[in-house]
Amino acid sequence: MRFRKRAIKHSYIAVCFLAPSAIGFSVFYLIPFAMGVIYSFTKGASAGSFVGFANYQDLLASDSFRKAAMNTALFTSISVPITIVISLLIALMLNQNIYLRNWLRTAYVLPLVVPVASVVLIWQILFDWNGAINSWLSNFAVERIDWMKSEWARVVLSVVYAWKNVGYNVILFLAGLQGIPKDYYETANLEGAGVYRQFTQITLVYLTPTMFFVALMALVSSFRIFRETYLIAGDYPHDSIYMLQHYMNNMFLSLDVQKLTSAATLMVACMVIIVFVMFSLERRFSSFTE
């Protein structure tokens, strides 16, 4: 009985501590999003008539939306896997006894604490028409490249995304690698297992939960690349890096609430489906390896 009263008391205390965050999340995120979903099925923002999926049909018929959705999907499908692979390779390197290991770990964390505006200014200096990279290329008699006004813009954006997110992924991978018991590797060495077999049969298997979490966070970060893109290329960038957030930002500026809320609802629905599929795969893979 005494234990039950203590548990109830602790539950009340936990609720009191969580209430401010829950209220803030509801007021600034949950309630506005719910209202946006409602607006996406109406004709007007205030006291509008119900039109069903007409707004979504208009949205899907928009060339701008289709281009933005295609660019976002292409960027995510390419940049996220490459960033994860690079992060894992760096984490494996930093997990060894290499020279200046602690300094290298600090260097990869720096992009997380540097303000985005400062970072973007540096990238603008590098990839501007008269920037450092074009000046360096001119020394080798290579024609200047208009990086942000050509198909190279997607490559630049992928590099910026990787540079910004690799450090965080490396920290997560390092935590996962250090959680693998060393006895497994020692036993594998005694049994004659090579480096490749140890990596596939031990490292990747025990890194599965970390791998899925890193993939999830990288996926969410890829949908927030608009901030860097907007600061580098402005409101209307090259067609190859015109993302969903650009489209929604332009709809907001033009006060087209129906297309804005419909696009936001579709993007959230796609993210929820992807996350659900990832969790399902993670549970199935974990049960398969147990």
Decide: 50 and 41 in contact? Cβ < 8 Å: yes
Angle made by CA atoms 91, 93, 99, in degrees to the nearest 5: 125
**Domain coordinates in residue numbering, the chain:** 1-39, 56-289
Stated pTM of the model: 0.81
pLDDT at 176 over 70: yes
Mean pLDDT calculated for residue range 68-96:
88
Say which residue the tokens 């039950």 belong to.
4
Decide: 278 and 209 in contact? Cβ < 8 Å: no
Q: How many CB atoms lie within 10 A of CB 60?
A: 13
Cα torsion for 199, 203, 209, 214, to the nearest 10°? -70
Decide: 171 and 110 in contact? Cβ < 8 Å: no
Nearest to 173 by CA among 290, 283, 89: 89
Nearest to 180 by CA among 208, 218, 217, 216: 208
pLDDT at 288 over 60: no
How many Å apart are CA 135 and CA 140, to the nearest integer?
9
56-289: CATH topology is MetI-like fold (1.10.3720)
Nearest to 262 by CA among 56, 60, 30, 50: 56
Q: How many CB atoms lie within 10 A of CB 274?
A: 15
pLDDT in tens, 257-279: 888 888 888 888 888 888 888 88
How many Å apart are CA 32 and CA 28, to the nearest integer?
6
pLDDT at 27 over 80: yes
How many Å apart are CA 124 and CA 136, to the nearest integer?
15
The DSSP output letter for 225 is T
Mean pLDDT calculated for residue range 81-105:
79
What pLDDT, on the 0 to 100 scale, is given for residue 103? 66
How many Å apart are CA 153 and CA 138, to the nearest integer?
19
